[in-house]
Structure 1
Amino acid sequence: MTKTPDSDSAPLQIITGKARLAGVLGWPVSHSRSPALHNYWLRRYGIDGAYVPLPVRPDQFEAAVRGLQAAGFRGANVTIPHKEAACALADELDPSAQRAGAVNTLVFEADGRIRGLSTDGSGFVASLEASGLRLPASGRALLLGAGGAARSVAAALQDGGVQVAVTNRTQERADTLARLLPGLEVVPWAEWEAGLGGYDLLVNTTSLGMEGGPDPLFCPSLKAASQALVVADIVYVPRQTPLLAEAAQQGLKTLGGLGMLLHQARLGFREWFGQDPVVDAQTEAALTASL
Protein backbone atom coordinates (compact mmCIF):
# COMPACT_ATOMS: atom_id res chain seq x y z
CA MET A 1 0.00 0.00 0.00
CA THR A 2 1.32 3.44 -0.95
CA LYS A 3 1.00 6.02 1.77
CA THR A 4 -0.16 9.48 0.68
CA PRO A 5 0.15 12.59 2.88
CA ASP A 6 -3.63 13.10 2.81
CA SER A 7 -4.67 9.56 3.70
CA ASP A 8 -6.88 9.18 6.76
CA SER A 9 -5.80 5.60 7.36
CA ALA A 10 -2.51 4.70 9.05
CA PRO A 11 -0.82 1.54 7.76
CA LEU A 12 1.48 -0.51 9.92
CA GLN A 13 4.60 1.53 10.54
CA ILE A 14 7.83 -0.35 9.81
CA ILE A 15 10.83 0.79 11.85
CA THR A 16 14.23 -0.38 10.61
CA GLY A 17 17.77 -0.16 11.92
CA LYS A 18 18.11 3.11 10.00
CA ALA A 19 15.20 4.77 11.78
CA ARG A 20 15.52 8.42 12.77
CA LEU A 21 14.85 8.84 16.48
CA ALA A 22 13.65 11.73 18.66
CA GLY A 23 11.65 12.15 21.84
CA VAL A 24 10.43 14.46 24.58
CA LEU A 25 12.28 14.99 27.86
CA GLY A 26 10.24 15.99 30.91
CA TRP A 27 9.45 15.29 34.56
CA PRO A 28 6.70 14.24 34.49
CA VAL A 29 6.18 13.45 30.82
CA SER A 30 3.21 11.05 30.91
CA HIS A 31 0.81 13.92 30.07
CA SER A 32 2.65 14.84 26.86
CA ARG A 33 0.85 14.25 23.57
CA SER A 34 3.96 15.06 21.54
CA PRO A 35 4.58 11.33 20.91
CA ALA A 36 1.06 10.96 19.49
CA LEU A 37 1.55 13.99 17.25
CA HIS A 38 5.01 13.18 15.91
CA ASN A 39 4.26 9.50 15.37
CA TYR A 40 1.08 10.49 13.51
CA TRP A 41 3.18 12.66 11.19
CA LEU A 42 5.76 9.88 10.78
CA ARG A 43 3.01 7.50 9.63
CA ARG A 44 1.35 10.13 7.48
CA TYR A 45 4.53 10.85 5.54
CA GLY A 46 5.83 7.29 5.47
CA ILE A 47 9.03 8.14 7.36
CA ASP A 48 11.20 5.45 8.94
CA GLY A 49 11.40 6.85 12.46
CA ALA A 50 10.04 6.96 16.00
CA TYR A 51 9.38 9.56 18.70
CA VAL A 52 9.25 8.45 22.34
CA PRO A 53 8.44 9.87 25.82
CA LEU A 54 11.52 10.21 28.02
CA PRO A 55 10.83 10.77 31.75
CA VAL A 56 14.03 12.32 33.16
CA ARG A 57 14.64 13.67 36.64
CA PRO A 58 16.15 17.17 36.78
CA ASP A 59 19.42 15.92 38.29
CA GLN A 60 19.79 13.46 35.40
CA PHE A 61 18.98 15.86 32.56
CA GLU A 62 22.46 16.44 31.12
CA ALA A 63 23.40 12.76 31.41
CA ALA A 64 20.19 11.80 29.60
CA VAL A 65 20.78 14.30 26.78
CA ARG A 66 24.37 13.12 26.29
CA GLY A 67 23.16 9.52 26.29
CA LEU A 68 20.53 10.19 23.63
CA GLN A 69 23.10 11.96 21.51
CA ALA A 70 25.52 9.03 21.85
CA ALA A 71 22.73 6.57 20.97
CA GLY A 72 22.13 8.28 17.63
CA PHE A 73 18.99 10.30 18.37
CA ARG A 74 18.44 13.29 16.06
CA GLY A 75 17.26 15.46 18.94
CA ALA A 76 14.46 15.97 21.43
CA ASN A 77 11.76 18.27 22.65
CA VAL A 78 12.11 19.60 26.18
CA THR A 79 9.22 20.28 28.53
CA ILE A 80 8.73 21.15 32.21
CA PRO A 81 11.04 21.54 34.13
CA HIS A 82 14.03 21.29 31.77
CA LYS A 83 13.74 24.26 29.39
CA GLU A 84 16.24 26.52 31.13
CA ALA A 85 18.67 23.63 31.70
CA ALA A 86 18.46 22.83 27.98
CA CYS A 87 19.34 26.43 27.19
CA ALA A 88 22.46 26.20 29.36
CA LEU A 89 23.46 22.88 27.81
CA ALA A 90 23.16 23.87 24.13
CA ASP A 91 26.29 24.81 22.21
CA GLU A 92 24.37 27.12 19.89
CA LEU A 93 21.07 28.97 20.33
CA ASP A 94 18.67 30.36 17.76
CA PRO A 95 17.72 34.05 18.25
CA SER A 96 14.43 33.22 19.98
CA ALA A 97 16.07 30.86 22.48
CA GLN A 98 18.87 33.33 23.10
CA ARG A 99 16.41 36.11 23.86
CA ALA A 100 14.08 34.01 25.98
CA GLY A 101 16.80 32.11 27.86
CA ALA A 102 14.82 28.88 27.36
CA VAL A 103 14.89 25.97 24.90
CA ASN A 104 12.10 23.54 23.98
CA THR A 105 13.79 21.85 21.01
CA LEU A 106 17.26 20.27 20.83
CA VAL A 107 18.91 19.27 17.57
CA PHE A 108 21.92 16.95 17.66
CA GLU A 109 24.33 17.76 14.83
CA ALA A 110 26.60 15.21 13.12
CA ASP A 111 29.70 17.06 14.38
CA GLY A 112 28.61 16.68 18.02
CA ARG A 113 27.19 20.16 18.54
CA ILE A 114 23.80 20.64 20.18
CA ARG A 115 21.57 23.39 18.81
CA GLY A 116 18.86 24.83 21.01
CA LEU A 117 15.67 26.28 19.53
CA SER A 118 12.71 28.04 21.10
CA THR A 119 9.43 27.46 19.26
CA ASP A 120 6.94 27.89 22.12
CA GLY A 121 6.46 31.60 21.52
CA SER A 122 6.01 31.42 17.76
CA GLY A 123 3.76 28.39 18.24
CA PHE A 124 1.56 30.29 20.66
CA VAL A 125 1.26 33.31 18.36
CA ALA A 126 0.48 31.05 15.38
CA SER A 127 -2.22 29.37 17.47
CA LEU A 128 -3.74 32.74 18.35
CA GLU A 129 -3.79 33.81 14.72
CA ALA A 130 -5.19 30.48 13.49
CA SER A 131 -8.06 30.93 15.96
CA GLY A 132 -8.79 34.44 14.73
CA LEU A 133 -7.85 35.96 18.11
CA ARG A 134 -5.36 38.57 16.90
CA LEU A 135 -4.58 41.18 19.57
CA PRO A 136 -4.84 44.95 19.07
CA ALA A 137 -1.60 46.56 17.84
CA SER A 138 -0.98 48.03 21.29
CA GLY A 139 -2.64 45.26 23.31
CA ARG A 140 -1.74 44.27 26.84
CA ALA A 141 -1.11 40.71 27.99
CA LEU A 142 -0.67 39.17 31.44
CA LEU A 143 1.25 35.90 31.75
CA LEU A 144 0.86 33.57 34.70
CA GLY A 145 4.22 31.94 35.40
CA ALA A 146 7.85 32.82 34.76
CA GLY A 147 9.33 29.53 33.55
CA GLY A 148 10.65 28.51 30.16
CA ALA A 149 7.34 28.69 28.30
CA ALA A 150 6.57 32.12 29.79
CA ARG A 151 9.95 33.40 28.60
CA SER A 152 9.34 32.29 25.04
CA VAL A 153 5.72 33.45 24.87
CA ALA A 154 6.57 36.82 26.45
CA ALA A 155 9.38 37.44 23.96
CA ALA A 156 7.18 36.53 20.98
CA LEU A 157 4.35 38.80 22.18
CA GLN A 158 6.76 41.67 22.75
CA ASP A 159 8.15 41.19 19.25
CA GLY A 160 4.57 41.64 18.00
CA GLY A 161 4.21 44.98 19.79
CA VAL A 162 2.22 43.70 22.78
CA GLN A 163 2.83 45.18 26.23
CA VAL A 164 3.52 42.21 28.48
CA ALA A 165 3.24 41.79 32.24
CA VAL A 166 4.11 38.67 34.23
CA THR A 167 3.08 37.35 37.61
CA ASN A 168 4.46 34.34 39.45
CA ARG A 169 3.94 32.69 42.80
CA THR A 170 7.67 33.16 43.46
CA GLN A 171 8.35 36.86 42.95
CA GLU A 172 12.09 36.33 42.44
CA ARG A 173 11.53 34.33 39.23
CA ALA A 174 9.26 37.02 37.83
CA ASP A 175 11.90 39.67 38.60
CA THR A 176 14.54 37.54 36.85
CA LEU A 177 12.39 37.33 33.75
CA ALA A 178 11.84 41.10 33.78
CA ARG A 179 15.59 41.65 33.80
CA LEU A 180 15.94 39.26 30.86
CA LEU A 181 13.22 40.95 28.78
CA PRO A 182 13.38 44.76 29.11
CA GLY A 183 9.99 46.42 29.21
CA LEU A 184 8.32 43.49 30.96
CA GLU A 185 6.13 44.55 33.91
CA VAL A 186 5.97 42.47 37.10
CA VAL A 187 2.64 42.14 38.94
CA PRO A 188 2.52 40.65 42.46
CA TRP A 189 0.78 37.26 42.51
CA ALA A 190 -1.71 38.42 45.15
CA GLU A 191 -2.85 41.34 42.98
CA TRP A 192 -3.23 40.05 39.41
CA GLU A 193 -6.88 38.95 39.63
CA ALA A 194 -8.04 42.40 40.71
CA GLY A 195 -6.21 44.07 37.82
CA LEU A 196 -7.60 41.93 34.99
CA GLY A 197 -9.70 44.79 33.65
CA GLY A 198 -6.58 46.36 32.16
CA TYR A 199 -5.62 43.45 29.89
CA ASP A 200 -6.63 42.08 26.50
CA LEU A 201 -5.03 38.66 26.96
CA LEU A 202 -4.44 36.35 29.93
CA VAL A 203 -2.13 33.36 29.40
CA ASN A 204 -1.52 30.56 31.89
CA THR A 205 2.00 29.33 31.06
CA THR A 206 2.30 27.18 34.21
CA SER A 207 1.37 23.54 34.81
CA LEU A 208 -1.41 24.67 37.17
CA GLY A 209 -4.63 23.07 36.04
CA MET A 210 -2.80 20.22 34.30
CA GLU A 211 -3.89 16.66 34.89
CA GLY A 212 -1.28 15.32 37.31
CA GLY A 213 0.11 18.83 37.86
CA PRO A 214 0.74 20.65 41.16
CA ASP A 215 -2.84 21.97 41.34
CA PRO A 216 -5.16 20.35 38.77
CA LEU A 217 -8.10 22.34 40.19
CA PHE A 218 -6.46 25.76 39.69
CA CYS A 219 -9.32 28.15 39.00
CA PRO A 220 -8.81 31.81 39.92
CA SER A 221 -11.58 34.40 39.80
CA LEU A 222 -12.00 36.28 36.52
CA LYS A 223 -14.82 38.54 37.72
CA ALA A 224 -12.70 41.70 37.32
CA ALA A 225 -11.98 40.99 33.64
CA SER A 226 -13.39 43.09 30.81
CA GLN A 227 -15.58 41.27 28.29
CA ALA A 228 -12.84 41.80 25.69
CA LEU A 229 -10.36 39.61 27.56
CA VAL A 230 -9.10 36.49 25.76
CA VAL A 231 -8.10 33.71 28.17
CA ALA A 232 -5.50 31.22 26.95
CA ASP A 233 -4.07 28.17 28.70
CA ILE A 234 -1.04 26.30 27.34
CA VAL A 235 -2.16 23.22 29.29
CA TYR A 236 -3.88 20.76 26.94
CA VAL A 237 -4.54 17.81 29.28
CA PRO A 238 -7.36 18.30 30.08
CA ARG A 239 -8.45 20.29 27.03
CA GLN A 240 -10.95 22.27 29.11
CA THR A 241 -8.96 23.34 32.15
CA PRO A 242 -10.71 24.85 35.19
CA LEU A 243 -9.35 28.27 34.14
CA LEU A 244 -10.87 27.96 30.66
CA ALA A 245 -14.14 26.69 32.11
CA GLU A 246 -14.31 29.73 34.39
CA ALA A 247 -13.57 32.03 31.45
CA ALA A 248 -16.32 30.45 29.37
CA GLN A 249 -18.76 30.85 32.26
CA GLN A 250 -17.89 34.56 32.33
CA GLY A 251 -18.60 34.80 28.59
CA LEU A 252 -14.96 35.34 27.63
CA LYS A 253 -13.21 34.06 24.51
CA THR A 254 -10.85 31.16 25.23
CA LEU A 255 -7.91 29.39 23.63
CA GLY A 256 -6.71 25.94 24.72
CA GLY A 257 -3.16 24.63 24.53
CA LEU A 258 -3.62 22.12 21.72
CA GLY A 259 -3.00 24.67 18.96
CA MET A 260 0.27 25.80 20.50
CA LEU A 261 1.41 22.17 20.75
CA LEU A 262 0.64 21.61 17.07
CA HIS A 263 2.34 24.75 15.77
CA GLN A 264 5.45 24.64 17.96
CA ALA A 265 6.14 21.04 16.89
CA ARG A 266 6.63 21.71 13.17
CA LEU A 267 10.17 23.06 13.30
CA GLY A 268 11.51 20.20 15.40
CA PHE A 269 9.88 17.62 13.13
CA ARG A 270 11.45 19.26 10.09
CA GLU A 271 14.89 19.33 11.72
CA TRP A 272 14.82 15.67 12.87
CA PHE A 273 12.87 13.95 10.13
CA GLY A 274 13.41 16.13 7.05
CA GLN A 275 9.76 16.88 6.34
CA ASP A 276 7.79 20.08 6.96
CA PRO A 277 4.46 18.74 8.29
CA VAL A 278 1.13 20.44 7.83
CA VAL A 279 -1.13 21.49 10.68
CA ASP A 280 -4.64 20.85 9.39
CA ALA A 281 -7.97 19.41 10.45
CA GLN A 282 -6.68 15.86 10.04
CA THR A 283 -3.74 16.55 12.32
CA GLU A 284 -5.93 18.12 14.98
CA ALA A 285 -8.41 15.25 14.78
CA ALA A 286 -5.66 12.66 15.16
CA LEU A 287 -4.25 14.43 18.20
CA THR A 288 -7.68 15.01 19.73
CA ALA A 289 -8.34 11.27 19.47
CA SER A 290 -5.28 10.65 21.66
CA LEU A 291 -6.82 12.76 24.43
Structure 2
Amino acid sequence: MTPFAEVIGDPIAQSKSPRIHGFWLEKLGIDAAYRAHLVAPDGVGAYLADRRTDPDWRGCNVTMPHKQAVQPFLDTVSRTASRIGAINTVYVQQDRLIGDNTDGEGFLEPLTQWLGQTHLFRMARVLGAGGAARAITAALVDHGFTLVVAGRDAAKCETILAQLPGEHHATTLDHFADPTDFAFDDRDGLFDLVVNTTPLGMAGREPLRFDFSHVPPGSIVYDIVTSPVRTPLLIEAETRGFRTIDGLAMLIGQAAAAFRLFFGADAPREHDAELRALLES
Protein backbone atom coordinates (compact mmCIF):
# COMPACT_ATOMS: atom_id res chain seq x y z
CA MET A 1 0.00 0.00 0.00
CA THR A 2 1.03 3.62 -0.58
CA PRO A 3 1.35 6.11 2.29
CA PHE A 4 -0.96 9.08 1.86
CA ALA A 5 -2.15 12.33 3.39
CA GLU A 6 -5.16 14.46 2.59
CA VAL A 7 -6.83 17.83 2.91
CA ILE A 8 -10.37 17.81 4.25
CA GLY A 9 -13.08 20.43 4.10
CA ASP A 10 -16.48 21.29 2.66
CA PRO A 11 -16.19 22.39 -0.11
CA ILE A 12 -12.77 21.04 -1.02
CA ALA A 13 -12.52 20.83 -4.84
CA GLN A 14 -10.89 24.28 -5.00
CA SER A 15 -7.95 23.33 -2.76
CA LYS A 16 -4.47 23.81 -4.18
CA SER A 17 -2.90 21.56 -1.53
CA PRO A 18 -2.92 18.36 -3.64
CA ARG A 19 -0.98 20.12 -6.39
CA ILE A 20 1.56 21.47 -3.89
CA HIS A 21 2.21 18.22 -2.03
CA GLY A 22 2.05 16.16 -5.20
CA PHE A 23 4.67 18.41 -6.79
CA TRP A 24 7.03 17.97 -3.84
CA LEU A 25 6.51 14.21 -3.63
CA GLU A 26 7.39 13.88 -7.31
CA LYS A 27 10.47 16.09 -7.02
CA LEU A 28 11.76 14.05 -4.06
CA GLY A 29 10.86 10.69 -5.60
CA ILE A 30 8.78 9.74 -2.54
CA ASP A 31 6.30 6.93 -3.15
CA ALA A 32 3.31 8.54 -1.44
CA ALA A 33 0.12 10.39 -2.34
CA TYR A 34 -1.79 13.47 -1.25
CA ARG A 35 -5.41 14.09 -2.17
CA ALA A 36 -8.48 16.16 -1.39
CA HIS A 37 -11.31 14.51 0.53
CA LEU A 38 -14.75 16.01 1.02
CA VAL A 39 -15.92 15.71 4.63
CA ALA A 40 -19.32 17.11 5.59
CA PRO A 41 -19.64 18.99 8.90
CA ASP A 42 -21.36 16.02 10.57
CA GLY A 43 -18.78 13.56 9.29
CA VAL A 44 -15.57 14.72 10.99
CA GLY A 45 -15.66 12.18 13.82
CA ALA A 46 -16.38 9.24 11.51
CA TYR A 47 -13.65 10.32 9.11
CA LEU A 48 -10.97 10.51 11.81
CA ALA A 49 -12.11 7.24 13.41
CA ASP A 50 -11.76 5.50 10.05
CA ARG A 51 -8.38 7.03 9.20
CA ARG A 52 -7.01 6.25 12.67
CA THR A 53 -7.15 2.54 11.80
CA ASP A 54 -5.46 2.95 8.38
CA PRO A 55 -1.71 2.23 8.68
CA ASP A 56 -0.99 4.10 5.45
CA TRP A 57 -2.62 7.37 6.47
CA ARG A 58 -0.11 10.02 7.54
CA GLY A 59 -2.53 12.79 8.42
CA CYS A 60 -4.53 15.61 6.90
CA ASN A 61 -4.66 19.32 6.45
CA VAL A 62 -7.88 20.84 7.73
CA THR A 63 -9.74 23.67 6.07
CA MET A 64 -13.10 25.30 6.61
CA PRO A 65 -15.40 24.51 8.30
CA HIS A 66 -13.52 21.90 10.35
CA LYS A 67 -10.65 23.80 11.98
CA GLN A 68 -12.28 23.68 15.39
CA ALA A 69 -14.56 20.67 14.90
CA VAL A 70 -11.66 18.19 14.67
CA GLN A 71 -10.27 18.88 18.15
CA PRO A 72 -12.56 16.58 20.22
CA PHE A 73 -11.48 13.60 18.09
CA LEU A 74 -7.72 14.05 18.59
CA ASP A 75 -5.41 12.68 21.27
CA THR A 76 -3.58 15.93 21.85
CA VAL A 77 -3.18 19.43 20.46
CA SER A 78 0.01 21.45 20.14
CA ARG A 79 0.51 24.56 22.24
CA THR A 80 0.35 26.66 19.08
CA ALA A 81 -3.00 25.23 17.96
CA SER A 82 -4.41 25.45 21.47
CA ARG A 83 -3.43 29.09 21.77
CA ILE A 84 -4.94 29.95 18.38
CA GLY A 85 -8.06 27.89 18.92
CA ALA A 86 -7.91 26.36 15.45
CA ILE A 87 -6.25 23.33 13.85
CA ASN A 88 -5.12 23.17 10.24
CA THR A 89 -2.95 20.03 10.42
CA VAL A 90 -3.50 16.59 11.95
CA TYR A 91 -0.63 14.10 11.88
CA VAL A 92 0.13 10.67 13.31
CA GLN A 93 2.77 10.16 15.98
CA GLN A 94 3.12 6.72 17.58
CA ASP A 95 -0.52 5.87 16.80
CA ARG A 96 -1.70 9.14 18.34
CA LEU A 97 -3.47 11.89 16.40
CA ILE A 98 -1.83 15.28 17.00
CA GLY A 99 -3.48 18.58 16.08
CA ASP A 100 -1.28 21.49 15.05
CA ASN A 101 -1.50 24.81 13.23
CA THR A 102 1.08 25.80 10.61
CA ASP A 103 -0.69 28.96 9.39
CA GLY A 104 1.38 31.32 11.53
CA GLU A 105 4.65 29.74 10.42
CA GLY A 106 3.58 29.93 6.78
CA PHE A 107 2.45 33.52 7.12
CA LEU A 108 5.72 34.70 8.67
CA GLU A 109 8.02 32.93 6.21
CA PRO A 110 8.06 35.64 3.48
CA LEU A 111 8.57 38.30 6.17
CA THR A 112 11.77 36.71 7.50
CA GLN A 113 14.16 39.29 6.04
CA TRP A 114 12.34 42.14 7.80
CA LEU A 115 11.66 40.31 11.05
CA GLY A 116 15.39 39.83 11.48
CA GLN A 117 15.92 43.58 11.55
CA THR A 118 15.60 45.95 14.50
CA HIS A 119 12.72 48.44 14.36
CA LEU A 120 11.62 51.39 16.47
CA PHE A 121 8.04 50.17 16.29
CA ARG A 122 6.05 47.46 14.53
CA MET A 123 2.35 47.77 13.73
CA ALA A 124 0.01 45.56 11.71
CA ARG A 125 -3.47 46.38 10.51
CA VAL A 126 -5.19 43.00 10.18
CA LEU A 127 -8.46 42.78 8.28
CA GLY A 128 -10.64 39.85 9.34
CA ALA A 129 -11.43 37.92 12.50
CA GLY A 130 -11.62 34.29 11.37
CA GLY A 131 -9.35 31.30 11.99
CA ALA A 132 -6.56 32.61 9.75
CA ALA A 133 -6.63 35.95 11.57
CA ARG A 134 -6.26 34.15 14.90
CA ALA A 135 -3.10 32.38 13.72
CA ILE A 136 -1.66 35.47 12.07
CA THR A 137 -2.26 37.83 15.00
CA ALA A 138 -0.68 35.39 17.45
CA ALA A 139 2.38 35.06 15.21
CA LEU A 140 2.72 38.83 14.80
CA VAL A 141 2.45 39.52 18.53
CA ASP A 142 5.25 37.01 19.11
CA HIS A 143 7.40 39.24 16.87
CA GLY A 144 6.68 42.48 18.67
CA PHE A 145 3.79 43.90 16.65
CA THR A 146 1.06 46.14 17.97
CA LEU A 147 -2.18 45.21 16.23
CA VAL A 148 -5.29 46.86 14.88
CA VAL A 149 -7.77 44.10 14.03
CA ALA A 150 -10.85 44.93 11.97
CA GLY A 151 -13.85 42.73 11.28
CA ARG A 152 -17.53 42.99 10.50
CA ASP A 153 -18.11 42.60 14.24
CA ALA A 154 -15.68 44.53 16.45
CA ALA A 155 -16.64 42.36 19.43
CA LYS A 156 -15.24 39.30 17.66
CA CYS A 157 -11.99 41.19 17.14
CA GLU A 158 -11.93 42.06 20.84
CA THR A 159 -12.23 38.35 21.65
CA ILE A 160 -9.16 37.57 19.54
CA LEU A 161 -7.13 40.36 21.12
CA ALA A 162 -8.13 39.38 24.65
CA GLN A 163 -6.06 36.20 24.25
CA LEU A 164 -2.91 38.11 23.31
CA PRO A 165 -0.39 40.00 25.47
CA GLY A 166 0.07 43.72 24.96
CA GLU A 167 -2.21 46.63 24.17
CA HIS A 168 -4.00 46.34 20.83
CA HIS A 169 -7.05 47.82 19.14
CA ALA A 170 -10.25 46.48 17.59
CA THR A 171 -12.47 48.18 15.02
CA THR A 172 -14.79 47.42 12.12
CA LEU A 173 -13.93 46.90 8.47
CA ASP A 174 -15.92 50.03 7.65
CA HIS A 175 -13.28 52.07 9.48
CA PHE A 176 -10.80 51.25 6.71
CA ALA A 177 -13.28 51.76 3.89
CA ASP A 178 -13.53 55.50 4.48
CA PRO A 179 -10.66 57.96 3.90
CA THR A 180 -8.58 59.26 6.80
CA ASP A 181 -6.33 62.29 7.19
CA PHE A 182 -4.33 60.69 10.01
CA ALA A 183 -0.71 61.91 10.06
CA PHE A 184 1.42 58.76 10.08
CA ASP A 185 4.84 58.55 11.68
CA ASP A 186 7.23 58.39 8.70
CA ARG A 187 10.52 57.94 10.56
CA ASP A 188 13.00 55.38 9.30
CA GLY A 189 13.03 52.17 11.31
CA LEU A 190 9.28 51.56 11.43
CA PHE A 191 7.73 48.33 10.18
CA ASP A 192 4.09 48.56 9.08
CA LEU A 193 1.93 45.79 7.66
CA VAL A 194 -1.54 45.72 6.17
CA VAL A 195 -2.90 42.16 6.03
CA ASN A 196 -6.14 40.96 4.45
CA THR A 197 -7.27 37.66 5.97
CA THR A 198 -10.87 37.95 4.74
CA PRO A 199 -12.28 36.26 1.60
CA LEU A 200 -13.22 39.71 0.28
CA GLY A 201 -11.62 40.23 -3.12
CA MET A 202 -11.61 36.50 -3.83
CA ALA A 203 -13.00 35.38 -7.19
CA GLY A 204 -16.77 35.23 -6.91
CA ARG A 205 -16.89 37.24 -3.67
CA GLU A 206 -17.66 40.88 -3.05
CA PRO A 207 -14.68 43.26 -3.22
CA LEU A 208 -12.77 44.49 -0.22
CA ARG A 209 -13.57 48.14 0.43
CA PHE A 210 -10.28 49.65 1.60
CA ASP A 211 -8.98 53.20 1.31
CA PHE A 212 -5.21 53.50 0.93
CA SER A 213 -5.10 56.64 3.03
CA HIS A 214 -4.89 54.11 5.91
CA VAL A 215 -1.57 52.70 4.70
CA PRO A 216 1.53 54.27 6.31
CA PRO A 217 4.55 55.11 4.14
CA GLY A 218 6.83 52.13 3.54
CA SER A 219 4.19 49.53 4.45
CA ILE A 220 4.03 45.98 3.14
CA VAL A 221 0.56 44.96 1.90
CA TYR A 222 -0.11 41.23 2.32
CA ASP A 223 -3.24 39.49 1.01
CA ILE A 224 -3.69 35.79 1.87
CA VAL A 225 -6.35 35.28 -0.84
CA THR A 226 -5.05 32.83 -3.48
CA SER A 227 -7.72 33.10 -6.18
CA PRO A 228 -6.86 35.37 -7.84
CA VAL A 229 -3.25 35.55 -6.75
CA ARG A 230 -3.00 39.22 -7.70
CA THR A 231 -6.02 40.58 -5.90
CA PRO A 232 -7.40 44.10 -6.48
CA LEU A 233 -5.87 45.08 -3.12
CA LEU A 234 -2.38 43.98 -4.22
CA ILE A 235 -2.72 45.52 -7.67
CA GLU A 236 -3.61 48.90 -6.21
CA ALA A 237 -0.85 48.61 -3.60
CA GLU A 238 1.70 47.96 -6.35
CA THR A 239 0.51 50.93 -8.41
CA ARG A 240 0.96 53.12 -5.32
CA GLY A 241 4.52 51.86 -4.82
CA PHE A 242 4.01 49.60 -1.81
CA ARG A 243 5.75 46.26 -1.41
CA THR A 244 3.33 43.34 -1.62
CA ILE A 245 3.10 39.66 -0.65
CA ASP A 246 0.48 37.37 -2.15
CA GLY A 247 -1.44 34.45 -0.69
CA LEU A 248 0.64 31.77 -2.41
CA ALA A 249 3.58 32.72 -0.18
CA MET A 250 1.64 31.78 2.96
CA LEU A 251 -0.02 28.77 1.32
CA ILE A 252 3.30 27.26 0.26
CA GLY A 253 4.95 28.09 3.58
CA GLN A 254 2.29 26.45 5.73
CA ALA A 255 2.18 23.46 3.37
CA ALA A 256 5.95 22.96 3.74
CA ALA A 257 5.58 22.74 7.52
CA ALA A 258 2.79 20.18 7.15
CA PHE A 259 4.72 18.19 4.51
CA ARG A 260 7.52 17.66 7.01
CA LEU A 261 5.04 16.28 9.57
CA PHE A 262 3.35 13.97 7.07
CA PHE A 263 6.29 12.60 5.11
CA GLY A 264 9.35 13.20 7.31
CA ALA A 265 11.20 15.20 4.65
CA ASP A 266 11.82 18.85 3.93
CA ALA A 267 9.93 20.22 0.95
CA PRO A 268 12.27 20.97 -2.00
CA ARG A 269 11.90 24.73 -1.82
CA GLU A 270 14.52 25.33 -4.49
CA HIS A 271 11.69 24.64 -6.95
CA ASP A 272 9.35 27.35 -5.59
CA ALA A 273 9.34 29.34 -8.84
CA GLU A 274 8.26 26.28 -10.80
CA LEU A 275 5.62 25.44 -8.19
CA ARG A 276 4.20 28.96 -8.26
CA ALA A 277 3.94 28.82 -12.05
CA LEU A 278 2.04 25.54 -11.73
CA LEU A 279 -0.37 26.97 -9.15
CA GLU A 280 -1.00 30.10 -11.20
CA SER A 281 -1.71 28.20 -14.42
TM-score, length-normalised on structure 2?
Answer: 0.85
Taking a change above 3 Å as real, the CA distance of residues 87 and 165 of structure 1, as seen in their structure-2 partners, is farther
Offset of 1:47 from its aligned partner?
0.9
| Mean Cα deviation higher: 221-230 or 162-171 | 221-230
CA contact 1:38–1:51 (8 Å) conserved in 2: yes
Distance 2:134 2:214 in 1: 26
Taking a change above 3 Å as real, the CA distance of residues 44 and 131 of structure 1, as seen in their structure-2 partners, is farther
CA contact 1:22–1:52 (8 Å) conserved in 2: yes
- 1:286 is aligned, of 270, 275, 279, to 275
Distance 2:114 2:231 in 1: 18
CA contact 1:244–1:254 (8 Å) conserved in 2: yes
- 2:84 is aligned, of 100, 109, 123, to 100
Q: 2:169 maps to what in 1?
A: 185
- 1:156 is aligned, of 139, 142, 148, to 139
Where does 1:63-78 land on structure 2 (aligned, <5 Å)?
Answer: 63-72=46-55, 73-78=57-62
Taking a change above 3 Å as real, the CA distance of residues 160 and 43 of structure 1, as seen in their structure-2 partners, is same
CA contact 1:83–1:103 (8 Å) conserved in 2: yes
Matched, 1:21 2:4: yes
Offset of 1:54 from its aligned partner?
1.9
Offset of 1:153 from its aligned partner?
0.9
Determine what percentage of the aligned residue pairs are the same residue: 36
Distance 1:131 1:261 in 2: 19
CA contact 1:232–1:254 (8 Å) conserved in 2: yes
Where does 1:10-49 land on structure 2 (aligned, <5 Å)?
Answer: 17=1, 19-49=2-32
Distance 2:120 2:98 in 1: 33
CA contact 1:169–1:189 (8 Å) conserved in 2: yes
- 2:99 is aligned, of 106, 116, 137, to 116
- 1:50 is aligned, of 28, 33, 38, to 33
Offset of 1:132 from its aligned partner?
8.8
Taking a change above 3 Å as real, the CA distance of residues 191 and 274 of structure 1, as seen in their structure-2 partners, is same
Q: 2:195 maps to what in 1?
A: 203
Q: 1:8 maps to what in 2?
A: none
Matched, 1:60 2:43: yes
Q: 2:122 maps to what in 1?
A: 139
Pairs aligned (count): 270
- 2:68 is aligned, of 84, 93, 116, to 84
**Helix, strand or coil at the partner of 1:251:** coil
Distance 1:264 1:197 in 2: 36
Taking a change above 3 Å as real, the CA distance of residues 35 and 62 of structure 1, as seen in their structure-2 partners, is same
Matched, 1:258 2:248: yes
Offset of 1:201 from its aligned partner?
0.7
Q: Match for 2:139: what amino acid?
A: A
Over aligned residues, Cα RMSD in angstroms? Answer: 2.5
Offset of 1:161 from its aligned partner?
0.7
- 2:266 is aligned, of 266, 270, 276, to 276
Distance 1:86 1:250 in 2: 42
Q: Match for 1:204: what amino acid?
A: N
Please give the per-residue CA displacement for 1:228-272, whole angstroms capped at 9, x wherever unaligned: 221101112211011111222322211101111121122211121
Distance 1:155 1:203 in 2: 13
- Stretches of structure 2 that go unaligned for 5 or more consecutive residues are 185-190
Q: 1:4 maps to what in 2?
A: none
Distance 2:72 2:276 in 1: 31
CA contact 1:36–1:287 (8 Å) conserved in 2: no
CA contact 2:48–2:73 (8 Å) conserved in 1: no
Offset of 1:135 from its aligned partner?
8.3
Please give the per-residue CA displacement for 1:115-172, whole angstroms capped at 9, x wherever unaligned: 1111111111112226899783521001111111111111111111111221111333
Q: Match for 1:80: what amino acid?
A: M
Offset of 1:51 from its aligned partner?
0.6
CA contact 1:137–1:162 (8 Å) conserved in 2: no
Please give the per-residue CA displacement for 1:189-213, whole angstroms capped at 9, x wherever unaligned: 221345687581111112222234x
- Stretches of structure 1 that go unaligned for 5 or more consecutive residues are 1-16
